[in-house]
Amino acid sequence: MSTDLMPNRYRPGEVNLPARDAELIARRDAVLGLSYRLQYRRPVHFVRGEGMWLYDPDGRAYLDFYNNVPSLGHCHPEVNAAMAEQAARISANTRYLEPRLVDYAERLVDAFPEELNRVVFTCTGSESNDLALRIARLASGGEGVIVSSYAYHGTSAAAAAVSPNLGDAVKLSPFVRMVSLPGPAGIPESQAADFFEAQVRSAILDLNRRGIGVAALLIDSIFSSDGVWVDPPGFITGGVAAVRDAGGLIIADEVQPGFGRTGIHMWGFERHRIVPDLVTLGKPMGNGFPIGAVVGRKAPMERFGATARYSNTFAGNTVGIATADAVLTILQRDQIPQHALAMSEQLRAGLEGLAKKHRGVRAIRNAGLFFGIDIGPDEIAIPEKRAMALGVVNAMRDDGVLISTTGANEDTLKVRPPLVCQAEHVDLFLATFERAITNVAV
Amino acid sequence: MSTDLMPNRYRPGEVNLPARDAELIARRDAVLGLSYRLQYRRPVHFVRGEGMWLYDPDGRAYLDFYNNVPSLGHCHPEVNAAMAEQAARISANTRYLEPRLVDYAERLVDAFPEELNRVVFTCTGSESNDLALRIARLASGGEGVIVSSYAYHGTSAAAAAVSPNLGDAVKLSPFVRMVSLPGPAGIPESQAADFFEAQVRSAILDLNRRGIGVAALLIDSIFSSDGVWVDPPGFITGGVAAVRDAGGLIIADEVQPGFGRTGIHMWGFERHRIVPDLVTLGKPMGNGFPIGAVVGRKAPMERFGATARYSNTFAGNTVGIATADAVLTILQRDQIPQHALAMSEQLRAGLEGLAKKHRGVRAIRNAGLFFGIDIGPDEIAIPEKRAMALGVVNAMRDDGVLISTTGANEDTLKVRPPLVCQAEHVDLFLATFERAITNVAV
């Protein structure tokens, strides 16, 4: 793993900043401290957002190909109107009868395979994963959790303890086991399923030998923080079956792939043709409003509900529900997942064209509008690849397009535009990317 | 502890409900499951809120003396306008430069004693307590957490594991120790400090003998879920010193007492004349918008920030910050804590008058506008006291005033109106309470 856990960030002294920004950063560091990191060599400051665009104080426009929270675009008028209208009428909690809460819960589970017909609301993706782990541990009787090598599942103590991506400074749970993915291990696609299953079986064996037992396989179906390893579809099915045989549950972390990001499908797990036991939701669910959920099968959800009192003050609040309701309505009405697929095909075709012309583009992977683009030719060393990827990200930022990096070596570009991007935005992204990859020295 | 963890709730079949409500509850149970509980024997449904009032579909008004999230009143126009205006302009995360985030962070820490000068934002009180535990464990090197006997600190796995209030179905951490409070143990006030300190010292000894060490004393300064045990002010100071001597941190859970609830003071810990190491915030911080924070001393906060990457997608988002900024502005500009003190004195005087006339009022405790009223004369058994308290709560609900119960025996009324209540609301509450306590048989 990269020793720098967030390479694409501002480092004091690396560049000269305008006095206005330098002074603000000094104040920020003093009160917020070091856990608050700024993206880009030259941090950006936005005063206005609209659709695909963010604007800085000088009126300069930046094309957003990075933020996957405002999936419907920045400052969506219809979503904001739903939020404001509900906030002006009533902001009620779930201890009161509220038809809108029930209506939305029903509509949400209707967007899932029929086995997944229960929902509990949360406020963040971290809370969703934290709660799903509680439910899985109660339902399975086991404690062990299997995740991918560079997984990130959230920021609560329990979620961070199963997030190897956070690095050495954050202690892992003694009950977590990491499995290598076939892609980054260099396994050919024809052997990917067997490789993954063998890794999972080995983890199960170890957990059982130590009396820990298996609570869950917790995976984000596009393995985003591992570097976006999405293919071949279905490569996880043998591992999924092995976990079920061992009494564990399958938790699909849909905080990033969910709500249409992967194109056509509303949920990333559908691409792998599995039906998980629990699904965790977050980021784009409210297009920016803090809301998340755990959707699941009846048996584990009822087991938890019947024994443990779960009360979350803000979760399921009518203002969050009204906002999420507007988001789901727009996603379905405007067939956003299908649109995302069409845009992703245009983007993929464009990137493949560039890869033929530019040695700096090593590989392209995507599921819908979540792209990983490996930067740097095979023959250069990892730190050089990483430096090149960072160079591309910062050149594009200076050129008015926002993306970042991901993956075990942080030499993979992470590209995930709002799902409402249009053909002209894809073209602009491609043109800007080509300038950057041309100018950044190999 | 009561075997029923939430006595004030709807139970199917206990009362006949209108078909409209019964049908909605059946749908609700089917999709949301049993962890979602409804308050009151006859659940309430609100379609509109304004200031101190909530309105049901038939237009009937209910005086809210229970909800401590909308401290500034329901659907506050100025707070909602700040939220809507920011949402229309930009909803930016903390990876971008944002003056408003820094301005609010500075204003927030300025409302604390000067030693507490760092802040990290979260989305909920549970996330705040979860994060504070992570920080305390990292800073202290210990794992043990000391809480009160019936403490509730949140719903994440780590927070629930130190929340004995959740009952037997939720496993406690092997590293948590509960200490009895002097009040419910029947200790006279003159011996309260010594009693509390002895309890804490005994917990420290046990944690150290087992090699667990002490990470934190985690307390809500009004001990709300224990039954509102606030006196004498300062009774916790010896226990606080003992934990510090043992290398542990003091975490003040201000999710309920914070932001002026206790009157005059902005924070509940000030009443006990201590300065904690970490303070956790939630509920009223955004008057309903999901926002929380951990405010703390430089050393533990920097230790955490320098080593652990903490990234919380929604926390510190400009929309939440703008909303919380409006709340803090109003609290300070309109001297809401001072107003809360004045109202609490009127309420206390009225309740003391009623206690002289009605044997059913056993004891009154409060810090500002957080009241615990013990119901039932000494000589009756606990289940009878609890039934009487429940009777009062439901009679008042039927009479148009909202409160609930708390405490180890759930025979304590929990009364915590929005801080903007006026003299006429206090009078109406007192008159309704007198009718209820008169009519509910001892």
Cβ(A224)–Cβ(A414) below 8 Å: yes
Contact flag A87-B83 (C-beta cutoff 8 Å)? yes
- In a shared domain, residues A356 and A242: no
Q: Is residue A229 part of a domain?
A: yes
- In a shared domain, residues A309 and A348: no
Kindly list the residues from chain A whose CB atom is less than 8 angstroms away from the CB atom of residue B414. Answer: none
| Mean of per-residue pLDDT scores for chain B | 96
DSSP A107-128: HHHHTS-TTEEEEEEESSHHHH
- In a shared domain, residues A288 and A341: no
Residue B2 sits at the chain A interface (C-beta within 8 Å): no
Q: Is residue A150 part of a domain?
A: yes
Mean pLDDT of A28-43: 93
pLDDT digits over B32-66, tens only?
Answer: 988 899 999 999 999 999 999 999 999 999 999 99
Cis peptide leading into residue B232 (ω within 30°)? yes
Q: Is residue A212 part of a domain?
A: yes
Residue of B89, B101, B305 with shortest CB distance to A33: B305
Mutate one of A95, A119, A323, A403 to test the B interface: name it (highest B CB count within 10 A).
A95
Could you tell me the residue range of the domain that residue A280 belongs to?
77-333
More confident residue, B137 or B167: B137
- How would you classify residue A163: left for phi > 0, otherwise alpha for psi between -120 and 50, otherwise beta? beta
> Searching chain A, which residue's CA lies closest to the CA of residue B32?
A119
User: What pLDDT is recorded for position A308?
Assistant: 83
Mutate one of A23, A313, A403 to test the B interface: name it (highest B CB count within 10 A).
A313
Residue A90 to residues A86, A312, B266, Cα–Cα distance (Å): 6, 18, 27
Mean pLDDT of B245-270: 97
pLDDT at residue B308 is higher than 60: yes
At residue B3 the predicted structure's pLDDT band, cuts being 50, 70 and 90, is very low
Mean pLDDT of A129-142: 98
Kindly list the residues from chain B whose CB atom is less than 8 angstroms away from the CB atom of residue A129. Answer: none
List, as ranges, residues 235-274 from B with C-beta within 8 Å of A: none
Cβ(B410)–Cβ(B2) below 8 Å: yes
Mean pLDDT of A121-134: 98
- In a shared domain, residues A141 and A220: yes
- In a shared domain, residues A211 and A310: yes
pLDDT at residue A244 is higher than 90: yes
pLDDT at residue B368 is higher than 90: yes
- The backbone torsions φ and ψ at residue B214, rounded to the nearest 5 degrees and listed phi first, read -110, 120
pLDDT digits over A81-118, tens only?
Answer: 999 999 999 999 999 999 999 999 999 999 999 999 99
User: What pLDDT is recorded for position B442?
Assistant: 63
Query: Would strands B412-415 and B404-406 be described as parallel, antiparallel, or unpaired?
Result: antiparallel
Contact flag A155-B289 (C-beta cutoff 8 Å)? no
Chain pair A-B, CB pairs under 8 angstroms: 303
User: What pLDDT is recorded for position B217?
Assistant: 98
At residue A442 the predicted structure's pLDDT band, cuts being 50, 70 and 90, is low
Residue A278 pairs in a beta bridge with A251, A296
Tell me the HSE value of B353 on the side-chain side, using a 13 A CA sphere.
Answer: 11
Residue of B24, B84, B308 with shortest CB distance to A169: B308
| Spatial distance between the Cα atoms of A74 and B91, rounded to a whole number of angstroms | 7
We report the CATH number of the domain holding residue A325 as 3.40.640.10
User: What pLDDT is recorded for position A146?
Assistant: 98
Percentage, residues of chain B above pLDDT 90: 93
Edge-first strand order for the sheet with A249-253 is A116-122, A292-297, A278-281, A249-253, A214-219, A144-148, A176-179
pLDDT at residue B287 is higher than 80: yes
Residue B381 sits at the chain A interface (C-beta within 8 Å): no
With b meaning 16 or more CB within 10 Å and e meaning fewer, what string describes A177-187? bbbbbbbbeeb
Kindly list the residues from chain B whose CB atom is less than 8 angstroms away from the CB atom of residue A308. Answer: 35, 160, 166, 169-170
Residue A426 to residues A63, A217, A421, Cα–Cα distance (Å): 10, 35, 7
The dihedral of CA A420, A108, A152, A311: what is its sign? positive
From B333, B352, B373, give the residue that closes a domain: B333
We report the CATH number of the domain holding residue B27 as 3.90.1150.10
Q: Is B26 exposed, middle or buried (0-12, 13-18, 19+ CB in 10 A)?
A: exposed
Residue of B47, B125, B130 with shortest CB distance to A156: B130
- In a shared domain, residues A353 and A311: no
- In a shared domain, residues A188 and A320: yes
Helix (H, G, I), strand (E, B) or coil at A279: strand
Q: Is residue B101 part of a domain?
A: yes
Percentage, residues of chain A above pLDDT 70: 98
> Searching chain A, which residue's CA lies closest to the CA of residue B156?
A130
pLDDT at residue A329 is higher than 50: yes
Amino acid letter for position B106: E
The count of residues in chain A is 442
Residue B306 to residues A31, A33, A169, A186, A293, Cα–Cα distance (Å): 14, 8, 9, 34, 31
Evaluate whether ipTM surpasses 0.95.
yes
Residue among A420, A435, A417, A317 at smallest CA distance from A369: A417
> Searching chain B, which residue's CA lies closest to the CA of residue A309?
B35
Question: What number of other Cβ atoms are within 10 A of residue A51's Cβ?
Answer: 17
pLDDT digits over A245-281, tens only?
Answer: 999 999 999 999 999 999 989 999 999 999 999 999 9
A288: Cβ–Cβ under 8 A, 6 or more apart, which residues? A69, A70, A79, B87, B91, B314, B317, B319
Helix (H, G, I), strand (E, B) or coil at A296: strand
pLDDT at residue A2 is higher than 60: no
pLDDT digits over B181-238, tens only?
Answer: 999 999 999 999 999 999 999 999 999 999 999 999 999 999 999 999 999 999 999 9
- Residue A134 to chain B, least CA–CA distance (Å): 7
- In a shared domain, residues A61 and A94: no
Mean pLDDT of B239-264: 97
| Mean of per-residue pLDDT scores for chain A | 96
From A279, A311, A333, give the residue that closes a domain: A333
Q: Is residue A2 part of a domain?
A: no
Contact flag A307-B169 (C-beta cutoff 8 Å)? yes
Residue A75 sits at the chain B interface (C-beta within 8 Å): yes
Residue of A46, A69, A134 with shortest CB distance to B313: A69
More confident residue, A367 or B308: A367
Dmax over CA atoms of chain A, in Å, equals 63
- In a shared domain, residues B327 and B224: yes
Mutate one of A2, A5, A9, A32 to test the B interface: name it (highest B CB count within 10 A).
A32
pLDDT digits over B92-148, tens only?
Answer: 999 999 999 999 999 999 999 999 999 999 999 999 999 999 999 999 999 999 999
Residue A317 sits at the chain B interface (C-beta within 8 Å): yes
Mean pLDDT of A149-169: 95
* Candidate from A353-362, A382-391, B5-14, B210-219 with smallest mean pLDDT: B5-14
Residue among A231, A226, A230 at smallest CA distance from A407: A226
Q: How many domains does chain B have?
A: 2
Amino acid letter for position B191: Q
Q: How far is CA B67 from the centre of its chain?
A: 10
Contact flag B97-A156 (C-beta cutoff 8 Å)? no
Amino acid letter for position A148: S
- In a shared domain, residues B69 and B183: no
pLDDT at residue B338 is higher than 70: yes
Q: What is the pTM of this model?
A: 0.97
Q: Is residue B187 part of a domain?
A: yes
**Tokens describing residue B389:** 């308290």
List, as ranges, residues 22-61 from A with C-beta within 8 Å of B: 24-25, 27-28, 30-39, 43-49, 54
> Searching chain A, which residue's CA lies closest to the CA of residue B68?
A313
From B333, B358, B374, give the residue that closes a domain: B333
Cis peptide leading into residue B377 (ω within 30°)? no
Q: Is residue A7 part of a domain?
A: no
Q: Is residue B202 part of a domain?
A: yes
| Spatial distance between the Cα atoms of A228 and A410, rounded to a whole number of angstroms | 11
- In a shared domain, residues A362 and A425: yes
- In a shared domain, residues B300 and B363: no
pLDDT at residue A200 is higher than 60: yes
| Spatial distance between the Cα atoms of B119 and B153, rounded to a whole number of angstroms | 19
Question: What number of other Cβ atoms are within 10 A of residue A381's Cβ?
Answer: 9
Residue of B54, B87, B306 with shortest CB distance to A75: B87
User: What pLDDT is recorded for position B4?
Assistant: 63
pLDDT at residue A1 is higher than 50: no
